[in-house]
Structure 1
Amino acid sequence: MRQTARPRRSVLYMPGSNARAQEKAKSLPADALILDLEDAVAPDAKAEARGIVCDNVRSGGYGGRELIIRVNGLETPWGRDDLVAAAGAGADAILLPKVESGQQVRAAEALMDAHGAAATTAIWCMMETPRGILQAAEIAGSTPRLGCLVMGTSDLTKDLHARHTQARLPMLTSLGLCLLAARAHDLAILDGVYLDLANGEGFAESCRQGLELGFDGKTLIHPSQVAGANEIFGPTAAEIAESKEIITAFAAADAAGKAVVVVNGRLVENLHVENARRIVEMAAAIEALESGAA
Protein backbone atom coordinates (compact mmCIF):
# COMPACT_ATOMS: atom_id res chain seq x y z
CA MET A 1 0.00 0.00 0.00
CA ARG A 2 1.43 3.36 -0.99
CA GLN A 3 2.41 5.28 2.12
CA THR A 4 0.58 8.41 3.20
CA ALA A 5 1.61 10.89 5.88
CA ARG A 6 0.36 8.82 8.80
CA PRO A 7 2.18 9.23 12.13
CA ARG A 8 3.83 6.09 13.46
CA ARG A 9 6.27 7.70 15.88
CA SER A 10 5.12 5.53 18.78
CA VAL A 11 3.61 2.08 18.21
CA LEU A 12 2.77 0.40 21.50
CA TYR A 13 2.36 -3.34 22.02
CA MET A 14 -0.68 -4.20 24.17
CA PRO A 15 -1.30 -7.71 25.62
CA GLY A 16 -4.31 -9.16 23.86
CA SER A 17 -5.60 -10.82 27.03
CA ASN A 18 -5.53 -7.61 29.11
CA ALA A 19 -8.87 -5.90 28.53
CA ARG A 20 -8.12 -3.25 31.15
CA ALA A 21 -4.87 -2.20 29.45
CA GLN A 22 -6.64 -1.96 26.09
CA GLU A 23 -9.28 0.28 27.63
CA LYS A 24 -6.60 2.50 29.17
CA ALA A 25 -4.86 2.71 25.78
CA LYS A 26 -7.77 4.83 24.50
CA SER A 27 -6.31 7.76 26.43
CA LEU A 28 -2.61 7.18 25.66
CA PRO A 29 -0.86 9.52 23.20
CA ALA A 30 0.54 6.62 21.14
CA ASP A 31 0.15 6.97 17.38
CA ALA A 32 -0.69 3.29 16.97
CA LEU A 33 -1.46 0.21 19.05
CA ILE A 34 -0.49 -3.39 18.33
CA LEU A 35 -3.02 -5.63 20.08
CA ASP A 36 -0.94 -8.74 20.52
CA LEU A 37 -2.27 -12.29 20.32
CA GLU A 38 1.18 -13.85 19.95
CA ASP A 39 4.06 -13.39 22.41
CA ALA A 40 2.04 -11.54 25.06
CA VAL A 41 -0.62 -14.25 25.47
CA ALA A 42 -0.26 -17.65 27.16
CA PRO A 43 -1.45 -20.70 25.17
CA ASP A 44 -4.47 -21.32 27.40
CA ALA A 45 -5.59 -17.69 27.01
CA LYS A 46 -5.33 -17.42 23.22
CA ALA A 47 -9.01 -17.91 22.39
CA GLU A 48 -10.20 -15.50 25.09
CA ALA A 49 -7.66 -12.88 23.99
CA ARG A 50 -8.80 -13.19 20.39
CA GLY A 51 -12.35 -12.34 21.42
CA ILE A 52 -11.25 -9.40 23.59
CA VAL A 53 -9.09 -7.88 20.87
CA CYS A 54 -11.59 -8.25 18.03
CA ASP A 55 -14.44 -6.92 20.17
CA ASN A 56 -12.38 -3.86 21.12
CA VAL A 57 -11.41 -3.14 17.53
CA ARG A 58 -15.03 -3.41 16.40
CA SER A 59 -16.34 -1.24 19.22
CA GLY A 60 -13.78 1.51 18.58
CA GLY A 61 -13.20 4.47 20.86
CA TYR A 62 -9.51 4.77 20.00
CA GLY A 63 -9.80 8.02 18.08
CA GLY A 64 -7.42 8.34 15.17
CA ARG A 65 -4.96 5.80 16.55
CA GLU A 66 -4.00 3.09 14.10
CA LEU A 67 -5.07 -0.34 15.37
CA ILE A 68 -3.07 -3.42 14.43
CA ILE A 69 -3.77 -7.01 15.46
CA ARG A 70 -0.71 -9.25 15.74
CA VAL A 71 -1.83 -12.82 15.08
CA ASN A 72 -0.10 -16.10 15.74
CA GLY A 73 1.65 -17.76 12.81
CA LEU A 74 -0.44 -19.90 10.48
CA GLU A 75 1.70 -22.90 11.38
CA THR A 76 0.53 -22.69 15.03
CA PRO A 77 -2.72 -24.12 16.44
CA TRP A 78 -4.17 -20.59 16.79
CA GLY A 79 -2.97 -18.82 13.66
CA ARG A 80 -5.81 -19.62 11.27
CA ASP A 81 -8.54 -18.73 13.77
CA ASP A 82 -6.69 -15.53 14.65
CA LEU A 83 -6.42 -14.47 11.03
CA VAL A 84 -10.05 -15.29 10.22
CA ALA A 85 -11.27 -13.34 13.24
CA ALA A 86 -8.95 -10.40 12.61
CA ALA A 87 -10.03 -10.24 8.96
CA GLY A 88 -13.58 -9.44 10.03
CA ALA A 89 -12.74 -7.13 12.92
CA GLY A 90 -11.94 -4.06 10.84
CA ALA A 91 -8.42 -3.37 12.13
CA ASP A 92 -6.19 -1.02 10.17
CA ALA A 93 -3.66 -3.82 9.74
CA ILE A 94 -2.90 -7.42 10.61
CA LEU A 95 0.66 -8.08 11.75
CA LEU A 96 2.16 -11.44 10.77
CA PRO A 97 4.91 -12.83 13.02
CA LYS A 98 8.23 -14.32 11.93
CA VAL A 99 7.70 -13.78 8.21
CA GLU A 100 10.32 -15.56 6.12
CA SER A 101 8.95 -15.54 2.56
CA GLY A 102 6.60 -13.81 0.19
CA GLN A 103 4.62 -17.04 -0.03
CA GLN A 104 3.75 -16.76 3.68
CA VAL A 105 2.40 -13.27 3.10
CA ARG A 106 0.32 -14.32 0.11
CA ALA A 107 -1.12 -17.30 2.02
CA ALA A 108 -2.24 -14.98 4.80
CA GLU A 109 -3.68 -12.55 2.24
CA ALA A 110 -5.69 -15.31 0.56
CA LEU A 111 -7.21 -16.28 3.91
CA MET A 112 -8.01 -12.64 4.69
CA ASP A 113 -9.67 -12.19 1.31
CA ALA A 114 -11.70 -15.38 1.77
CA HIS A 115 -13.06 -14.14 5.08
CA GLY A 116 -14.08 -10.63 4.14
CA ALA A 117 -11.11 -8.47 5.06
CA ALA A 118 -11.64 -4.90 3.91
CA ALA A 119 -9.51 -3.66 1.05
CA THR A 120 -8.12 -1.05 3.43
CA THR A 121 -6.84 -3.63 5.94
CA ALA A 122 -3.10 -3.75 5.39
CA ILE A 123 -0.67 -6.57 6.11
CA TRP A 124 2.33 -5.79 8.30
CA CYS A 125 5.26 -8.18 8.62
CA MET A 126 7.53 -8.90 11.57
CA MET A 127 11.15 -9.13 10.45
CA GLU A 128 12.73 -11.13 13.25
CA THR A 129 14.59 -14.17 11.93
CA PRO A 130 17.81 -14.55 9.93
CA ARG A 131 15.92 -16.21 7.06
CA GLY A 132 13.37 -13.40 7.05
CA ILE A 133 16.07 -10.73 6.91
CA LEU A 134 17.73 -12.45 3.95
CA GLN A 135 14.34 -12.49 2.15
CA ALA A 136 13.44 -8.88 3.00
CA ALA A 137 13.26 -7.68 -0.60
CA GLU A 138 11.01 -10.57 -1.66
CA ILE A 139 8.73 -10.05 1.34
CA ALA A 140 8.50 -6.30 0.77
CA GLY A 141 7.37 -6.84 -2.81
CA SER A 142 5.05 -9.77 -2.14
CA THR A 143 1.66 -7.99 -2.37
CA PRO A 144 0.20 -4.50 -2.80
CA ARG A 145 -1.66 -5.06 0.50
CA LEU A 146 1.63 -4.92 2.41
CA GLY A 147 2.01 -1.68 4.35
CA CYS A 148 4.81 -1.93 6.90
CA LEU A 149 7.83 -3.91 8.06
CA VAL A 150 8.32 -4.20 11.82
CA MET A 151 11.73 -5.07 13.23
CA GLY A 152 11.70 -7.81 15.86
CA THR A 153 15.16 -7.17 17.25
CA SER A 154 14.76 -9.25 20.42
CA ASP A 155 14.11 -12.52 18.60
CA LEU A 156 16.66 -11.62 15.96
CA THR A 157 19.37 -10.99 18.57
CA LYS A 158 18.65 -14.41 20.07
CA ASP A 159 18.81 -16.19 16.72
CA LEU A 160 22.05 -14.45 15.77
CA HIS A 161 23.63 -15.42 19.12
CA ALA A 162 24.39 -11.71 19.39
CA ARG A 163 24.29 -9.29 22.32
CA HIS A 164 22.04 -6.36 23.17
CA THR A 165 24.36 -3.36 23.02
CA GLN A 166 23.62 0.37 23.13
CA ALA A 167 25.18 1.01 19.71
CA ARG A 168 23.37 -2.06 18.25
CA LEU A 169 26.30 -2.92 16.00
CA PRO A 170 25.12 -6.57 15.77
CA MET A 171 21.79 -5.30 14.34
CA LEU A 172 22.98 -2.78 11.77
CA THR A 173 23.21 -5.17 8.82
CA SER A 174 19.70 -6.49 9.44
CA LEU A 175 18.25 -3.03 10.05
CA GLY A 176 19.86 -1.73 6.86
CA LEU A 177 18.64 -4.58 4.67
CA CYS A 178 15.06 -4.13 5.87
CA LEU A 179 15.22 -0.35 5.47
CA LEU A 180 16.40 -0.75 1.88
CA ALA A 181 13.61 -3.24 1.12
CA ALA A 182 10.94 -1.04 2.71
CA ARG A 183 11.96 2.13 0.90
CA ALA A 184 12.37 0.31 -2.42
CA HIS A 185 8.72 -0.74 -2.18
CA ASP A 186 7.35 2.46 -0.59
CA LEU A 187 6.57 0.80 2.74
CA ALA A 188 6.64 2.15 6.26
CA ILE A 189 9.18 0.58 8.62
CA LEU A 190 9.33 0.53 12.42
CA ASP A 191 12.32 0.04 14.67
CA GLY A 192 12.44 -2.69 17.32
CA VAL A 193 11.71 -2.35 21.02
CA TYR A 194 14.02 -1.10 23.76
CA LEU A 195 13.90 -3.44 26.74
CA ASP A 196 15.51 -1.52 29.64
CA LEU A 197 12.65 0.54 31.05
CA ALA A 198 14.89 1.99 33.75
CA ASN A 199 17.34 3.53 31.25
CA GLY A 200 15.61 6.60 29.87
CA GLU A 201 18.70 8.05 28.22
CA GLY A 202 19.48 4.70 26.61
CA PHE A 203 15.97 4.63 25.18
CA ALA A 204 16.37 8.16 23.82
CA GLU A 205 19.69 7.23 22.21
CA SER A 206 18.06 4.20 20.59
CA CYS A 207 15.27 6.41 19.21
CA ARG A 208 17.76 8.94 17.85
CA GLN A 209 19.71 6.17 16.16
CA GLY A 210 16.52 4.81 14.60
CA LEU A 211 15.58 8.26 13.35
CA GLU A 212 19.03 8.78 11.84
CA LEU A 213 18.89 5.39 10.13
CA GLY A 214 15.55 6.27 8.53
CA PHE A 215 12.86 4.51 10.56
CA ASP A 216 9.37 6.03 10.73
CA GLY A 217 9.00 5.31 14.43
CA LYS A 218 9.60 2.79 17.18
CA THR A 219 7.70 -0.13 18.64
CA LEU A 220 7.30 0.18 22.41
CA ILE A 221 6.70 -2.15 25.34
CA HIS A 222 5.46 0.34 27.95
CA PRO A 223 3.34 3.51 27.98
CA SER A 224 6.20 5.39 29.69
CA GLN A 225 8.12 5.24 26.40
CA VAL A 226 5.43 6.92 24.28
CA ALA A 227 6.26 10.58 24.98
CA GLY A 228 9.96 10.13 24.27
CA ALA A 229 9.34 8.36 20.97
CA ASN A 230 6.83 11.02 19.90
CA GLU A 231 9.30 13.80 20.62
CA ILE A 232 12.27 12.26 18.85
CA PHE A 233 10.52 10.87 15.78
CA GLY A 234 8.31 13.93 15.28
CA PRO A 235 9.57 16.90 13.23
CA THR A 236 10.79 19.85 15.30
CA ALA A 237 9.34 23.36 15.05
CA ALA A 238 12.56 24.49 13.37
CA GLU A 239 12.38 21.69 10.80
CA ILE A 240 8.77 22.54 10.00
CA ALA A 241 9.51 26.26 9.63
CA GLU A 242 12.51 25.64 7.39
CA SER A 243 10.54 23.16 5.29
CA LYS A 244 7.78 25.71 4.68
CA GLU A 245 10.42 28.29 3.74
CA ILE A 246 12.00 25.89 1.24
CA ILE A 247 8.64 25.10 -0.37
CA THR A 248 7.71 28.77 -0.67
CA ALA A 249 11.10 29.85 -2.01
CA PHE A 250 11.22 27.06 -4.57
CA ALA A 251 7.71 27.80 -5.82
CA ALA A 252 8.54 31.50 -6.19
CA ALA A 253 11.75 30.76 -8.06
CA ASP A 254 10.00 28.29 -10.34
CA ALA A 255 7.29 30.84 -11.14
CA ALA A 256 9.98 33.38 -11.99
CA GLY A 257 11.78 30.93 -14.26
CA LYS A 258 14.86 30.73 -12.04
CA ALA A 259 16.86 27.53 -12.06
CA VAL A 260 18.73 28.13 -8.80
CA VAL A 261 17.20 28.63 -5.35
CA VAL A 262 19.18 29.48 -2.22
CA VAL A 263 17.58 29.26 1.23
CA ASN A 264 19.56 30.26 4.31
CA GLY A 265 22.75 30.15 2.27
CA ARG A 266 22.15 26.62 0.97
CA LEU A 267 21.32 25.49 -2.54
CA VAL A 268 17.84 23.98 -2.77
CA GLU A 269 17.01 21.27 -5.31
CA ASN A 270 13.96 19.12 -6.03
CA LEU A 271 15.08 16.48 -3.53
CA HIS A 272 15.07 19.07 -0.74
CA VAL A 273 11.60 20.23 -1.72
CA GLU A 274 10.29 16.67 -1.72
CA ASN A 275 11.66 16.09 1.78
CA ALA A 276 10.27 19.44 2.95
CA ARG A 277 6.80 18.51 1.72
CA ARG A 278 7.03 15.19 3.54
CA ILE A 279 7.90 16.96 6.80
CA VAL A 280 5.08 19.50 6.45
CA GLU A 281 2.53 16.80 5.60
CA MET A 282 3.65 14.70 8.57
CA ALA A 283 3.45 17.70 10.91
CA ALA A 284 -0.13 18.34 9.76
CA ALA A 285 -1.05 14.68 10.24
CA ILE A 286 0.41 14.69 13.77
CA GLU A 287 -1.50 17.84 14.64
CA ALA A 288 -4.73 16.30 13.36
CA LEU A 289 -4.16 13.08 15.30
CA GLU A 290 -3.32 14.87 18.53
CA SER A 291 -6.30 17.22 18.23
CA GLY A 292 -8.65 14.28 17.76
CA ALA A 293 -9.55 15.33 14.22
CA ALA A 294 -7.76 12.44 12.49
Structure 2
Amino acid sequence: MNALQHPPRRSALYVPASNPRALAKVGGLDADAVVFDLEDAVAPEMKEAARSHLLQVFEARRPGPHYRVVRINAIGGADFDADMRTVARCRPDALLVPKIGSANDVRFLSEAALRHGLGAELRLWLMVETADALAALDDIVRAGLGARPRLEALVVGTNDLAKETGVFAGDGRCYLVPWLMGVVLNAKRHGVCVLDGVWNDFADTAGFDAEALQSSRMAFDGKTLIHPSQIAPANAAFSPSAAALEEARAIVAAFELPRHAGAGVINLEGRMVERLHLAQAQRLLSLQAAIEARGRGR
Protein backbone atom coordinates (compact mmCIF):
# COMPACT_ATOMS: atom_id res chain seq x y z
CA MET A 1 0.00 0.00 0.00
CA ASN A 2 1.15 3.56 -0.51
CA ALA A 3 -0.01 6.87 0.86
CA LEU A 4 -1.70 7.94 -2.38
CA GLN A 5 -4.46 5.44 -1.68
CA HIS A 6 -5.66 7.96 0.89
CA PRO A 7 -7.54 11.13 -0.08
CA PRO A 8 -5.40 14.24 -0.53
CA ARG A 9 -3.85 15.56 2.66
CA ARG A 10 -2.07 18.59 1.18
CA SER A 11 -3.27 21.02 3.83
CA ALA A 12 -4.28 20.32 7.43
CA LEU A 13 -5.31 23.48 9.29
CA TYR A 14 -5.20 23.61 13.08
CA VAL A 15 -8.26 25.40 14.48
CA PRO A 16 -8.39 26.15 18.23
CA ALA A 17 -11.51 24.54 19.63
CA SER A 18 -11.65 27.35 22.19
CA ASN A 19 -12.25 29.98 19.49
CA PRO A 20 -15.92 30.08 18.42
CA ARG A 21 -15.25 32.67 15.70
CA ALA A 22 -12.61 30.48 14.07
CA LEU A 23 -14.83 27.42 14.37
CA ALA A 24 -17.69 29.24 12.63
CA LYS A 25 -15.51 29.95 9.57
CA VAL A 26 -14.30 26.39 9.02
CA GLY A 27 -17.02 25.46 6.52
CA GLY A 28 -15.81 28.01 3.98
CA LEU A 29 -12.17 26.94 3.99
CA ASP A 30 -10.51 24.87 1.26
CA ALA A 31 -8.21 22.84 3.50
CA ASP A 32 -8.10 19.11 2.81
CA ALA A 33 -8.29 18.47 6.55
CA VAL A 34 -9.25 20.54 9.57
CA VAL A 35 -7.65 19.66 12.91
CA PHE A 36 -9.84 20.84 15.77
CA ASP A 37 -7.27 21.43 18.49
CA LEU A 38 -7.86 20.70 22.16
CA GLU A 39 -4.13 20.66 22.97
CA ASP A 40 -1.46 23.31 22.31
CA ALA A 41 -3.78 26.02 21.00
CA VAL A 42 -6.01 25.90 24.09
CA ALA A 43 -5.05 27.41 27.45
CA PRO A 44 -5.49 25.09 30.47
CA GLU A 45 -8.35 27.15 31.87
CA MET A 46 -10.17 26.94 28.50
CA LYS A 47 -10.04 23.16 28.01
CA GLU A 48 -13.58 22.47 29.22
CA ALA A 49 -15.03 25.33 27.18
CA ALA A 50 -13.15 24.07 24.11
CA ARG A 51 -14.71 20.63 24.47
CA SER A 52 -18.14 22.24 24.72
CA HIS A 53 -17.55 24.35 21.61
CA LEU A 54 -16.35 21.29 19.73
CA LEU A 55 -19.48 19.33 20.59
CA GLN A 56 -21.59 22.19 19.26
CA VAL A 57 -19.68 22.17 15.96
CA PHE A 58 -20.19 18.46 15.40
CA GLU A 59 -23.79 18.48 16.58
CA ALA A 60 -24.57 21.23 14.03
CA ARG A 61 -23.53 18.83 11.22
CA ARG A 62 -22.66 21.69 8.88
CA PRO A 63 -21.75 20.40 5.41
CA GLY A 64 -18.18 20.66 4.20
CA PRO A 65 -15.58 18.75 2.22
CA HIS A 66 -13.04 18.62 5.00
CA TYR A 67 -11.63 15.56 6.63
CA ARG A 68 -12.29 16.29 10.31
CA VAL A 69 -9.62 15.50 12.87
CA VAL A 70 -9.57 16.17 16.61
CA ARG A 71 -6.25 16.65 18.40
CA ILE A 72 -6.60 15.62 22.03
CA ASN A 73 -4.27 16.19 24.96
CA ALA A 74 -1.52 13.72 25.81
CA ILE A 75 -2.38 10.24 27.06
CA GLY A 76 -2.35 9.94 30.83
CA GLY A 77 -2.82 13.67 31.33
CA ALA A 78 -5.56 15.43 33.27
CA ASP A 79 -7.63 16.12 30.15
CA PHE A 80 -7.19 12.79 28.36
CA ASP A 81 -10.33 10.99 29.49
CA ALA A 82 -12.54 14.06 29.08
CA ASP A 83 -11.13 14.54 25.58
CA MET A 84 -11.80 10.91 24.69
CA ARG A 85 -15.39 11.21 25.90
CA THR A 86 -15.78 14.26 23.68
CA VAL A 87 -14.33 12.43 20.68
CA ALA A 88 -16.72 9.54 21.29
CA ARG A 89 -19.64 11.97 21.05
CA CYS A 90 -18.27 13.95 18.08
CA ARG A 91 -17.28 10.97 15.91
CA PRO A 92 -14.66 12.76 13.80
CA ASP A 93 -12.88 11.09 10.89
CA ALA A 94 -9.59 10.83 12.76
CA LEU A 95 -8.00 11.29 16.16
CA LEU A 96 -4.63 13.08 16.43
CA VAL A 97 -2.62 12.14 19.50
CA PRO A 98 0.39 14.17 20.69
CA LYS A 99 3.49 13.24 22.68
CA ILE A 100 3.55 9.58 21.66
CA GLY A 101 6.86 8.06 22.76
CA SER A 102 6.55 4.29 22.45
CA ALA A 103 4.55 1.39 21.07
CA ASN A 104 3.14 0.93 24.59
CA ASP A 105 1.59 4.40 24.30
CA VAL A 106 -0.21 3.26 21.16
CA ARG A 107 -1.47 0.12 22.87
CA PHE A 108 -2.68 2.18 25.85
CA LEU A 109 -4.49 4.49 23.45
CA SER A 110 -6.11 1.57 21.65
CA GLU A 111 -7.41 0.18 24.94
CA ALA A 112 -8.76 3.61 25.88
CA ALA A 113 -10.50 3.94 22.52
CA LEU A 114 -12.19 0.59 23.05
CA ARG A 115 -13.19 1.61 26.56
CA HIS A 116 -14.81 4.79 25.24
CA GLY A 117 -16.67 2.98 22.48
CA LEU A 118 -14.74 4.42 19.55
CA GLY A 119 -15.40 2.36 16.43
CA ALA A 120 -13.18 0.85 13.77
CA GLU A 121 -14.19 3.59 11.31
CA LEU A 122 -12.11 6.14 13.27
CA ARG A 123 -8.56 6.64 11.98
CA LEU A 124 -5.47 7.43 14.02
CA TRP A 125 -2.98 10.23 13.42
CA LEU A 126 0.13 10.35 15.60
CA MET A 127 2.40 13.29 16.37
CA VAL A 128 6.13 12.70 15.96
CA GLU A 129 7.50 15.44 18.18
CA THR A 130 9.82 13.90 20.77
CA ALA A 131 13.23 12.25 20.78
CA ASP A 132 11.57 9.10 22.11
CA ALA A 133 9.20 9.04 19.14
CA LEU A 134 12.04 9.38 16.67
CA ALA A 135 14.02 6.60 18.35
CA ALA A 136 11.07 4.19 18.53
CA LEU A 137 9.27 5.23 15.35
CA ASP A 138 9.28 1.89 13.56
CA ASP A 139 7.83 0.13 16.61
CA ILE A 140 5.27 2.91 17.02
CA VAL A 141 4.13 2.64 13.41
CA ARG A 142 3.90 -1.14 13.54
CA ALA A 143 1.81 -0.90 16.71
CA GLY A 144 -0.39 1.73 15.09
CA LEU A 145 -1.06 -0.41 12.04
CA GLY A 146 -2.23 -3.20 14.31
CA ALA A 147 -4.29 -0.95 16.56
CA ARG A 148 -7.91 0.14 16.61
CA PRO A 149 -8.22 2.92 15.62
CA ARG A 150 -5.78 2.08 12.84
CA LEU A 151 -2.88 4.38 12.03
CA GLU A 152 -3.42 6.53 8.95
CA ALA A 153 -0.95 9.42 9.27
CA LEU A 154 2.18 10.66 11.00
CA VAL A 155 2.35 14.39 11.78
CA VAL A 156 5.70 15.96 12.52
CA GLY A 157 5.80 18.46 15.38
CA THR A 158 8.86 20.48 14.44
CA ASN A 159 8.36 23.10 17.15
CA ASP A 160 8.32 20.52 19.93
CA LEU A 161 11.24 18.61 18.41
CA ALA A 162 13.33 21.78 18.35
CA LYS A 163 12.26 22.69 21.88
CA GLU A 164 13.03 19.27 23.35
CA THR A 165 16.35 18.70 21.61
CA GLY A 166 17.64 22.26 21.38
CA VAL A 167 18.40 21.84 17.68
CA PHE A 168 18.50 25.04 15.64
CA ALA A 169 15.45 25.08 13.36
CA GLY A 170 16.55 27.88 10.99
CA ASP A 171 18.75 27.86 7.87
CA GLY A 172 16.30 25.80 5.87
CA ARG A 173 15.95 23.34 8.76
CA CYS A 174 19.28 21.83 7.76
CA TYR A 175 19.80 20.24 11.20
CA LEU A 176 16.25 18.87 11.32
CA VAL A 177 16.26 17.42 7.81
CA PRO A 178 17.92 14.08 8.72
CA TRP A 179 15.20 13.44 11.32
CA LEU A 180 12.44 14.60 8.97
CA MET A 181 13.67 12.29 6.21
CA GLY A 182 13.71 9.43 8.70
CA VAL A 183 10.03 10.05 9.44
CA VAL A 184 9.20 10.25 5.73
CA LEU A 185 11.09 7.04 5.00
CA ASN A 186 9.28 5.18 7.76
CA ALA A 187 5.90 6.43 6.56
CA LYS A 188 6.59 5.42 2.97
CA ARG A 189 7.86 2.03 4.08
CA HIS A 190 4.61 1.30 5.90
CA GLY A 191 2.22 3.07 3.52
CA VAL A 192 0.91 5.79 5.81
CA CYS A 193 0.48 9.48 5.12
CA VAL A 194 3.06 11.88 6.51
CA LEU A 195 2.52 15.59 7.15
CA ASP A 196 5.18 18.21 7.79
CA GLY A 197 5.14 20.60 10.74
CA VAL A 198 3.89 24.17 10.80
CA TRP A 199 5.48 27.38 9.54
CA ASN A 200 5.12 29.79 12.45
CA ASP A 201 5.35 33.22 10.79
CA PHE A 202 2.18 33.29 8.70
CA ALA A 203 2.99 36.86 7.60
CA ASP A 204 6.16 35.57 5.90
CA THR A 205 4.57 34.12 2.79
CA ALA A 206 7.86 33.71 0.94
CA GLY A 207 9.26 31.70 3.83
CA PHE A 208 6.19 29.49 3.87
CA ASP A 209 6.38 28.91 0.12
CA ALA A 210 10.04 27.90 0.37
CA GLU A 211 9.40 25.47 3.22
CA ALA A 212 6.35 23.96 1.50
CA LEU A 213 8.43 23.39 -1.63
CA GLN A 214 11.11 21.74 0.49
CA SER A 215 8.45 19.56 2.12
CA SER A 216 7.01 18.41 -1.19
CA ARG A 217 10.47 17.58 -2.52
CA MET A 218 11.12 15.55 0.62
CA ALA A 219 7.98 13.52 -0.26
CA PHE A 220 5.74 14.74 2.54
CA ASP A 221 2.09 14.33 1.54
CA GLY A 222 1.15 17.71 2.94
CA LYS A 223 1.74 20.29 5.63
CA THR A 224 0.06 21.31 8.86
CA LEU A 225 -1.00 24.96 8.97
CA ILE A 226 -1.76 27.62 11.55
CA HIS A 227 -3.55 30.22 9.42
CA PRO A 228 -6.12 30.10 6.61
CA SER A 229 -3.84 32.19 4.37
CA GLN A 230 -1.52 29.18 4.17
CA ILE A 231 -4.14 26.84 2.68
CA ALA A 232 -3.94 27.86 -0.98
CA PRO A 233 -0.12 27.84 -1.20
CA ALA A 234 0.00 24.49 0.59
CA ASN A 235 -2.54 23.00 -1.80
CA ALA A 236 -0.50 24.31 -4.72
CA ALA A 237 2.81 23.02 -3.37
CA PHE A 238 1.53 19.47 -2.88
CA SER A 239 -0.47 19.25 -6.12
CA PRO A 240 1.08 17.89 -9.34
CA SER A 241 2.27 20.60 -11.71
CA ALA A 242 0.87 20.89 -15.23
CA ALA A 243 4.21 19.77 -16.67
CA ALA A 244 4.36 16.73 -14.39
CA LEU A 245 0.81 15.74 -15.34
CA GLU A 246 1.56 16.11 -19.05
CA GLU A 247 4.61 13.87 -18.71
CA ALA A 248 2.69 11.31 -16.66
CA ARG A 249 -0.08 11.11 -19.26
CA ALA A 250 2.50 10.68 -22.02
CA ILE A 251 4.16 7.80 -20.16
CA VAL A 252 0.85 6.03 -19.53
CA ALA A 253 -0.25 6.51 -23.15
CA ALA A 254 3.06 5.18 -24.47
CA PHE A 255 2.84 1.98 -22.43
CA GLU A 256 -0.73 1.45 -23.64
CA LEU A 257 0.36 1.27 -27.29
CA PRO A 258 0.02 -2.25 -28.74
CA ARG A 259 3.66 -2.32 -29.78
CA HIS A 260 4.72 -1.83 -26.15
CA ALA A 261 2.54 -4.60 -24.75
CA GLY A 262 4.61 -6.52 -22.21
CA ALA A 263 7.63 -4.24 -22.63
CA GLY A 264 9.68 -3.53 -19.53
CA VAL A 265 11.49 -0.55 -21.04
CA ILE A 266 10.44 1.76 -23.86
CA ASN A 267 11.89 4.70 -25.75
CA LEU A 268 9.85 7.84 -25.17
CA GLU A 269 11.12 10.74 -27.25
CA GLY A 270 14.71 9.68 -26.78
CA ARG A 271 14.40 8.81 -23.10
CA MET A 272 14.49 5.37 -21.53
CA VAL A 273 11.30 4.86 -19.57
CA GLU A 274 10.80 1.81 -17.37
CA ARG A 275 7.73 0.34 -15.73
CA LEU A 276 8.75 1.93 -12.44
CA HIS A 277 8.24 5.28 -14.19
CA LEU A 278 4.84 4.02 -15.32
CA ALA A 279 3.92 3.23 -11.71
CA GLN A 280 5.05 6.71 -10.63
CA ALA A 281 3.00 8.28 -13.41
CA GLN A 282 -0.09 6.31 -12.44
CA ARG A 283 0.26 7.38 -8.80
CA LEU A 284 0.58 11.01 -9.84
CA LEU A 285 -2.53 10.80 -12.00
CA SER A 286 -4.41 9.06 -9.18
CA LEU A 287 -3.50 11.91 -6.84
CA GLN A 288 -4.71 14.46 -9.38
CA ALA A 289 -7.97 12.56 -9.83
CA ALA A 290 -8.48 12.53 -6.06
CA ILE A 291 -7.81 16.28 -5.86
CA GLU A 292 -10.33 16.94 -8.63
CA ALA A 293 -12.90 14.67 -6.98
CA ARG A 294 -12.49 16.55 -3.71
CA GLY A 295 -13.00 19.83 -5.57
CA ARG A 296 -16.25 18.56 -7.07
CA GLY A 297 -17.40 17.63 -3.57
CA ARG A 298 -17.27 21.21 -2.31
Normalised TM-score (structure 2): 0.93
Matches within 5 A, 1:1-294: 3=3, 4-144=5-145, 145-252=150-257, 256-292=261-297
Judged with a 3 Å threshold, the aligned counterparts in structure 2 of structure 1 residues 268 and 110 are, in CA distance, closer, same or farther, namely same
Letter in structure 2 aligned against 1:30: A
What one-letter code is carried by the residue in structure 1 that aligns with 2:91?
A: G
How far 1:262 sits from its partner (Å)? 2.3
Q: CA deviation at 1:254?
A: 7.2
Paired letter, 1:263? L
Separation (CA, whole Å) in 2 of partners of 1:184 and 1:254: 34
- What is the CA-CA distance between 1:57 and the residue it aligns to? 3.0
| 8 Å contact kept, 1:15–1:36 | yes
CA-CA distance at 1:88 after TM superposition: 3.7
Moved more, 54-63 or 155-164: 54-63
CA contact (8 A) 2:260 2:266 kept: no
TM-score, normalised with respect to structure 1: 0.94
Q: What letter matches 1:27 in structure 2?
A: G
Q: Determine the C-alpha separation between the residues in 1 that align with 2:190 and 2:156.
A: 16
Instruction: Quote the Cα distance in structure 1 between the aligned partners of 2:252 and 2:47.
Output: 51
Question: Structure 1 residues 62 and 138, CA, compared in 2 at 3 Å: closer, same or farther?
Answer: farther
Retained in 2: the 8 A contact 1:182–1:188? Answer: yes
Question: What is the SS of the residue equivalent to 1:167?
Answer: helix
Aligned partners of 1:101, 1:43: CA distance in 2, in Å?
A: 25
Once residues 193 and 234 of structure 1 are traced to their aligned partners in structure 2, the CA distance between those partners, rounded to angstroms, is: 18
State whether residues 125 and 148 of structure 1, in contact with CA within 8 Å, keep that contact through their aligned partners in structure 2. Answer: yes
Contact persistence 1:15–1:41 (CA under 8 A): yes
Computed over aligned residues only, the root mean square deviation of the Cα atoms, in angstroms, reads: 1.8
User: Residue 265 of structure 2 contacts residue 275 of structure 2 at CA under 8 Å; is this kept in 1?
Assistant: no
Structure 1 residues 147 and 2, CA, compared in 2 at 3 Å: closer, same or farther? Answer: farther
Taking the aligned partners of 1:21 and 1:100, their CA distance within structure 2 comes to 31
Contact 2:96 / 2:126 at 8 angstroms: preserved in 1? yes
Mean CA deviation greater in 31-40 or 115-124: 115-124
Question: % of aligned pairs identical?
Answer: 38
Change (3 A) 1:253 1:117: farther
C-alpha separation in 2, matches of 1:139 and 1:172: 20
SS in 1 for 2:99: coil
Gap change, CA 1:153 and 1:62, over 3 Å in 2: farther
How far did residue 146 of structure 1 move? 0.5
Q: Is the 8 A contact 2:128 2:154 kept in 1?
A: yes
Structure 2: gaps spanning 5 or more residues? none
Question: Mind listing any 5+ residue stretches in structure 1 that lack a counterpart?
Answer: none
Query: In structure 1, how many angstroms separate the alpha carbons of the residues matched to 2:65 and 2:221?
Result: 18
SS at match of 1:141: helix
